[in-house]
Amino acid sequence: MKNKSTLTSRLVTHANGKSLEEINGTVPVPKNSKFLKTLLAYSGPGALVAVGYMDPGNWSTSITGGQNFQYLLMSVILMSSLIAMLLQYMSAKLGIVTQMDLAQAIRARTSKALGFVLWILTELAIMATDIAEVIGAAIALYLLFNIPLILAVFITVFDVLLLLLLAKVGFRKIEALIFCLIIVILLVFAYQVTLSDPAWNQIIQNLIPDQTTFASSPSVNGMTPLTGALGIIGATVMPHNFYLHSSISQSRAIDYSKESEIKSAVKFSTWDSNIQLTIAFFVSSLLLIMGVSVFKTGVIQDPSFFGLYDALSNPALLNNHALETVGRTGILSTLFAVSLLASGQ
């Protein structure tokens, strides 16, 4: 009985300790330095959050939305990105000000029954997102190297564990690596969209919603503007990121006895988060624009990763001569698979 009590005590003590103790307060930040130098020191956690908004589950929803309704849903991507910025700001502020992550705060402020329900819901949300990321990366390995999918899944799980091991040699290395993956994704889609020469004036006009944005008709291939908008919002706002951000925002070494340092940490963490989520907004926008301008209207019958890969390899489905020329070389489809692999990490 004593051993059981001791074990329980250790578990409770660990749960009530610092969030992610191995990285908590390990990243030094300059004191009274210039804005840019301080921002660079705080930059990193936003990248780990932003990459979740680019997960493979986002892709087919945005591309199909573009295929079905042109640029109509651009305003939905903008609104959902602004909502994400607000929620991630609140998550980071929670972690910095209270020195608790969201899970610890829920445990401290809710009943056991409600806490248990929220735990189950969060686990399900994390599993749903992770499944999409693992499958997306596995499919990318299959498309790039013809590795059987089952083996590719195990490789994906293994390389994620390797990324976690980087924390042993410094959390900043993980942040830098994830940021590089984000840039790869952004550059791939920017290149493909640039070749497609989209109607930029229409894109800008559709950043402002109108009465048709959330309409329940017309229905195109089983999708209405309303269901397309809901799909984009659901694929953009990531609940598990709130838990992550509230924890890793505490990785910076600040003096919690000084209110000025706490305020500075909140300020620069918000800058970091908003900059990275702006990149995520551009990636989501580029995906929707791809559906409009890279492919001919109505040709995407299979919006799966396999279908999109094949479509980028088929010049007959591409929208202009520049895309057709590059598409024949296989570069477009290969770059698509590379970005898919990057987003699944």
pLDDT band per the 50, 70, 90 thresholds, residue 16? low
Pick from 84-88, 123-127, 327-331: least confident: 123-127
CA distances from 76 to 112, 121, 218, 237, 278 (A): 37, 25, 17, 12, 14
Pick from 12-26, 107-121, 175-189: least confident: 12-26
Helices (H) and strands (E) in the chain, counts: 16, 2
Summarised one tens digit per residue, pLDDT across range 296-307 is: 877 777 788 898
Place of tokens 């929220």: 118
Rounded to whole angstroms, how far apart are CA atoms 245 and 95?
8
Give the predicted TM-score (pTM) of the model.
0.90
Cβ atoms < 10 Å from Cβ of 231: 20
Summarised one tens digit per residue, pLDDT across range 182-233 is: 999 999 999 999 999 999 999 999 999 988 988 888 888 788 999 999 988 8
Q: CA-CA-CA-CA torsion for 277, 282, 288, 291, nearest 10 degrees?
A: -140
DSSP letter string, 41-88: HH-SHHHHHHGGGG-GGGHHHHHHHHHHHTTTTHHHHHHHHHHHHHHH
